[in-house]
Structure 1
Amino acid sequence: MYNPAEQKTHNKLDKFRIHIRQIGRKRACLVFCSFLVLLLLIFALKSFQFDKRESTEIPDMISVAQQEEFTLIIQTFKRDDILLKVLERCLVVPHLQKIIIVWNNVGRQPSKELQESWSHYPTPVIFLEQKINSMQNRLQPFPEIHTDAVLLLDDDLLLSVSDISFAFTIWKQFRDQIIGFVPRKHVETPSGEYNYQGISLSDLQIGRDKYSLVLIGASFFHHRYLKLYQDQPKAMHSLVEETQNCDDIAMNFVVSLHLRKLMNATLPSGIYVKPLNMVNLEMQAVSGFKGMWFRPNHFKQRSYCLTRLAQIYGIMPLQFSNIIKTHST
Structure 2
Amino acid sequence: MGYLHRDCKSKALPIGCCDMSVKCRCRWNLGHTWCSFLWQHPSCLLSSTLTFFISSFVIFAALGFLFSWLVFPPFSQPFLDSAGVGCQPDNEGSWSVGLFLGDNPLLLQPIEEVGIQKNRSSAWPVANPILTCASVIDASYPSNFVADPFLFIQGSTLYVFFESKNALTKQGDIGVAQSLDGGASWKYLGIALDEEWHLSYPFVFIYNNEIYMMPEGSAKGDLRLYRALQFPLIWTLDRVLIRRPLVDATMIEYNGKYWIFGSDFQRFGVKKNGELEIWYASTPLGPFMQHKGNPVRNEDRSLGARNGGRPFIYDGQLYRVGQDCGETYGRRLHLFRVEILTKHKFHEVEVPLGVAESRKGRNAWNGLRYHHLDAQRLPSGGWIAVMDGDRVPSGDINTRYLTGTAAFVFLVFLVSFVGVILGVVQFVFPFSKWLDASKRNDMALGYVRSQFKSKFHRALSQLNRATSTVRGRILFHSCGGASLMLLCFVLGIISVCIGVRSFFGGNRAEEPYIVGGQYSQFTLIAMTYEARLWNLQMYVKHYSRCASVKEILVIWNKGQPPNPDTDFDSAVPVRIRLEEKNSLNNRFKPDPLIKTRAVLELDDDILMTCDDLERAFSAWRQHPERIVGFYPRLVNGNPLKYRNEWYARANKGYNMILTGAAFIDSQTAFPMYWSEKAEEGRALVDKLFNCEDILLNYIIANSTTSRTVEYIHPAWAIDTSKLSSAAISRDTNSHYMKRTQCLLEFSKLYGTSLLQIWEFGTRSDGWDY
Q: TM-score, normalised by structure 2?
A: 0.31
Check conservation: 2:658, 2:694, Cα contact below 8 A: yes
Other-structure match for 1:35: none
Q: Among 742, 759, 768, which residue is 1:305 paired with?
A: 742
Using the TM superposition, give the Cα deviation of residue 323 of structure 1 relative to its aligned residue in structure 2, in angstroms: 3.4
Structure-2 separation of matches of 1:111 and 1:120: 13
Q: In structure 1, the residue corresponding to 2:710 is in which secondary structure?
A: strand
Distance 1:165 1:60, change over 3 A: same
Distance 1:71 1:59, change over 3 A: closer
Other-structure match for 2:525: 73
Other-structure match for 1:23: none
* Amino acid of the structure 2 residue aligned with 1:101: V
Which consecutive residues of structure 2, in runs of 5 or more, have no partner in the other structure? 1-110, 126-519
* Amino acid of the structure 1 residue aligned with 2:711: Y
Other-structure match for 1:111: 562
Check conservation: 2:602, 2:660, Cα contact below 8 A: yes
Runs of 4 or more consecutive aligned structure 1 residues displaced over 6 Å after TM superposition: 57-60
Structure-2 separation of matches of 1:58 and 1:284: 38
Other-structure match for 2:656: 213
Structure-1 separation of matches of 2:721 and 2:543: 17
Other-structure match for 1:251: 696
Using the TM superposition, give the Cα deviation of residue 80 of structure 1 relative to its aligned residue in structure 2, in angstroms: 0.5
Structure-2 separation of matches of 1:171 and 1:59: 21
Structure-2 separation of matches of 1:326 and 1:242: 42
Check conservation: 2:526, 2:553, Cα contact below 8 A: yes
Q: Write out per-residue CA displacement over residues 3-29 of structure 1, whole angstroms, 9 at most, x where no aligned residue.
A: xxxxxxxxxxxxxxxxxxxxxxxxxxx
Check conservation: 2:633, 2:654, Cα contact below 8 A: yes
Using the TM superposition, give the Cα deviation of residue 259 of structure 1 relative to its aligned residue in structure 2, in angstroms: 2.2
Q: How does 1:116-127 map to 2 (within 5 A)?
A: 116-118=566-568, 121=571, 123-127=572-576
Distance 1:283 1:188, change over 3 A: closer
Distance 1:101 1:125, change over 3 A: same
Q: In structure 2, the residue corresponding to 1:187 is in which secondary structure?
A: coil
Q: How does 1:256-275 map to 2 (within 5 A)?
A: 256-260=701-705, 265=706, 267=707, 269-275=708-714
**Number of positions where the alignment pairs a residue of Structure 1 with one of Structure 2:** 255
Q: Write out per-residue CA displacement over residues 63-120 of structure 1, whole angstroms, 9 at most, x where no aligned residue.
A: 2561411111100122000111111111011121111100012xx32234x6414466
* Amino acid of the structure 2 residue aligned with 1:157: I
Structure-1 separation of matches of 2:599 and 2:651: 32
Other-structure match for 1:95: 548
Check conservation: 1:212, 1:318, Cα contact below 8 A: yes
Using the TM superposition, give the Cα deviation of residue 305 of structure 1 relative to its aligned residue in structure 2, in angstroms: 1.0
Q: Percent identity?
A: 26
Using the TM superposition, give the Cα deviation of residue 209 of structure 1 relative to its aligned residue in structure 2, in angstroms: 2.0
Other-structure match for 1:38: none
Matched, 1:136 2:616: no
Using the TM superposition, give the Cα deviation of residue 133 of structure 1 relative to its aligned residue in structure 2, in angstroms: 0.8
Structure-2 separation of matches of 1:154 and 1:296: 20
Matched, 1:62 2:62: no
Other-structure match for 1:318: 755
Check conservation: 1:176, 1:259, Cα contact below 8 A: no
Q: Write out per-residue CA displacement over residues 33-80 of structure 1, whole angstroms, 9 at most, x where no aligned residue.
A: xxxxxxxxxxxxxxxxxxxxxxxx999733256141111110012200
Other-structure match for 2:461: none
Q: In structure 2, the residue corresponding to 1:233 is in which secondary structure?
A: helix
Using the TM superposition, give the Cα deviation of residue 246 of structure 1 relative to its aligned residue in structure 2, in angstroms: 0.8
Structure-1 separation of matches of 2:565 and 2:534: 12
Other-structure match for 1:282: 721
Larger relative helix fraction: 1
Check conservation: 1:179, 1:221, Cα contact below 8 A: yes
Structure-1 separation of matches of 2:557 and 2:717: 24
**Higher RCO structure, 1 or 2 (CA under 8 Å, sep 6+):** 1
Distance 1:61 1:172, change over 3 A: same
Q: Which moved more, 1:306-315 or 1:156-165?
A: 306-315
Q: Which moved more, 1:221-230 or 1:64-73?
A: 64-73
Structure-2 separation of matches of 1:234 and 1:125: 30
Distance 1:259 1:327, change over 3 A: same
Other-structure match for 1:229: 673
Check conservation: 2:702, 2:750, Cα contact below 8 A: no
Larger relative strand fraction: 2
Distance 1:293 1:92, change over 3 A: same
Structure-1 separation of matches of 2:535 and 2:764: 27
Distance 1:320 1:60, change over 3 A: same
Which consecutive residues of structure 1, in runs of 5 or more, have no partner in the other structure? 1-56
